[in-house]
């Protein structure tokens, strides 16, 4: 919400009347009572300056962590200053793809460059202009694999639980059967995949690194799926792609992921960015828009919306999605971030995440936090806990340190380039105090 709201009370009442509501409370009646904010604890009649001071005092009750050792889908990274400087220009501050290409060349070019960078990162042929977040990208990719006689999807149970929830919601709406595969030591079990494959299987969705931080054997799964005339979708960590094989190198059909790590702040959960890329043969099934490069009538370089495979542009029954707008500003942020970092910068970033997380694992092991898995990991890993994980979380929070995520199996830890060895040593010292 903006800091200054120009509408008068009478204008607000007129707008409410036009949409069929009598009050603001009536407008929000579908929101459960218990989650509605009744108002801030600020007396009426205060000036703007006084209210701002009161708001700052309220904000001081928030815990601002000095160190964050938690990932699980959202990751703390350094964002170069140039990223915000460019994306804050008012001509770019929009969430929408422009329709009038002739007057929107700058925004269209930024999306075209974003698509190019995603293709370079994933090693695949085509990228769309982005979707809402990584979980939506995964669900939309599943629909891309479906055919008339193939309406079942295999999903590894090592994926992010929140992504799984979105997949289930999407698939329920189209009566797509979702078979959840049981893991073996927190890795997808290829025998489990073979057991559940049948002639109606459209594809397999798998993440690498998975929710437990482990690197999956994507090449083996890709070969198996293609032998059975099915597709494979890989959920990717975009930073890890600077260090490990790209999906395209492993014969993956569709690559998706959460683009938050590419220059977007953690921001209480959003707005984020879902990236998608695929082999050329699946291009017409990509949801949303694809920006293409062409020339105008004078032979000059120009950009246009090449493909828009959605129900507003083609017959509804042939539409691949009802995605109506992409995350244009977030996609541009990712594009500026990738350009600022460059290939060498991304590789250094990935190596820093890798080395810091492995150093963290060694130090935690000395305190009895044993890794529960033996597989290769990138920047995230699961350990047992010799103390109550929730007590540890609370005690570390008092020291302005956000612990790893307490999960059923123990604690899921994460380290990025921000978790330097000095910060890791501070964490270890703090844990010793708690223990």
What residues of the chain score a pLDDT lower than 50?
1, 311
- Partnered with residue 183 across adjacent β-strands are 188
How confident is the model at residue 428, as a pLDDT?
Answer: 97
Give the rounded distance of the alpha carbon of 358 from its chain centre: 24
Angle between helices 328-366 and 105-122 (to 10 degrees): 30
Strands 254-258 and 274-278, by their bridges, are: antiparallel
**Cα distance between residue 186 and residue 375, in whole Å:** 9
Give residue 136's pLDDT: 95
What pLDDT, on the 0 to 100 scale, is given for residue 1? 42
Output the pLDDT for position 329.
Answer: 87
**With contact defined as beta carbons under 8 Å apart, do 222 and 251 qualify?**
yes
Buried b (16+ CB within 10 A) or exposed e, 109-132: ebbbbbbebbbbbbbbebbbbbbb
Question: In terms of Cα–Cα distance, which of 328, 327, 287, 329 is closest to 308?
Answer: 287
pLDDT per residue over 327-377, tens digit each? Answer: 888 999 999 999 999 999 999 999 999 999 999 999 999 999 999 998 999
| Calpha distance 70→416 (Å, rounded) | 9
320: left (phi over 0), alpha (psi -120 to 50) or beta: alpha
The contacts of residue 122 (CB under 8 Å, 6+ apart) are 236, 241, 246, 247, 248, 255, 275, 277
The pLDDT assigned to 317 comes to 62
Q: 360 exposed, middle or buried (CB, 10 Å; 0-12, 13-18, 19+)?
A: buried
Q: What does the pLDDT read at residue 424? A: 97
Q: How far apart are CA 74 and CA 339, in angstroms?
A: 21
For 301, the enclosing helix (H) or strand (E) is strand 301-308
Match domain 81-337 to its CATH number in 3.30.930.10, 1.40.20.10, 3.40.640.10, 3.40.190.170.
3.40.640.10
pLDDT tens digits for range 274-319: 999 999 999 988 988 888 898 988 899 988 888 765 545 556 666 6
Assigned CATH class of 67-79+346-434:
alpha beta
Report CA torsion sign: 178, 248, 292, 318: negative
**Rounded distance between C-alpha atoms, residue 77 and residue 424, angstroms:** 15
pTM of the model: 0.86
What is the rounded (10 degree) CA torsion for 386, 387, 393, 394? -170
Per domain, the residue ranges of the chain are 67-79+346-434, 81-337
């Amino acid at each position: 919400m903006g800091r200054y709201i120009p509408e008068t009370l009478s204008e607000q009442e007129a707008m409410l009347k036009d949409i069929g509501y009598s009050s603001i409370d009536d407008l929000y009646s579908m929101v459960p009572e218990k989650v509605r904010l009744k108002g801030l604890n600020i007396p009426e009649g205060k000036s703007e300056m006084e209210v701002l001071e009161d708001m700052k005092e309220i904000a001081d009750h928030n815990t601002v962590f000095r160190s964050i050792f938690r990932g699980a889908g959202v990751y703390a990274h350094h964002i170069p200053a140039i990223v915000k400087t460019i994306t804050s220009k008012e001509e770019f501050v929009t969430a929408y793809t422009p329709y009038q290409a002739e007057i929107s060349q700058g925004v269209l070019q930024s999306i075209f460059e974003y698509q190019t960078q995603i293709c370079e990162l994933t090693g695949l042929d085509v990228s769309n202009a982005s979707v809402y977040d990584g979980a939506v990208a995964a669900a939309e990719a599943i629909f891309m694999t479906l055919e008339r006689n193939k309406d079942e999807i295999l999903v590894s149970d090592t994926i992010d639980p929140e992504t799984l929830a979105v997949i289930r919601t999407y698939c329920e709406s189209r009566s797509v059967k979702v078979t959840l595969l049981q893991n073996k030591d927190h890795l997808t079990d290829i025998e489990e995949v073979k057991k559940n494959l049948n002639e109606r299987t459209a594809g397999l969705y798998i993440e690498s690194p998975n929710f437990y931080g482990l690197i999956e054997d994507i090449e083996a799964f890709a070969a198996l799926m293609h032998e059975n005339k099915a597709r494979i979708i890989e959920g990717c960590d975009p930073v890890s792609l600077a260090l490990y094989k790209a999906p395209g190198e492993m014969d993956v059909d569709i690559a998706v992921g959460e683009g938050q790590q590419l220059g977007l702040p953690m921001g209480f959960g959003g707005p984020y960015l879902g990236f998608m890329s695929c082999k050329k043969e699946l291009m017409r099934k990509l949801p949303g828009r694809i920006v293409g490069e062409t020339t105008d009538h004078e032979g000059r370089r120009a950009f246009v919306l090449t493909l828009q495979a959605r129900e507003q542009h083609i017959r509804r029954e042939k539409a691949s999605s009802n995605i109506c707008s992409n995350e244009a500003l977030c996609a541009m942020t990712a594009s500026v971030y990738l350009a600022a970092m460059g290939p060498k910068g991304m590789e250094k970033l990935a190596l820093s995440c890798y080395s810091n997380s492995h150093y963290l694992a060694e130090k935690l092991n000395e305190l009895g936090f044993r890794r529960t898995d033996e597989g290769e990991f990138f920047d995230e890993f699961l350990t047992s806990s010799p103390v109550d994980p929730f007590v540890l979380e609370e005690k570390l929070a008092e020291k302005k340190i956000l612990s790893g995520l307490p999960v059923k199996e123990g604690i899921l830890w994460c380290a990025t380039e921000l978790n330097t060895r000095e910060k890791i040593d501070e964490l270890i010292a703090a844990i010793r105090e708690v223990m």
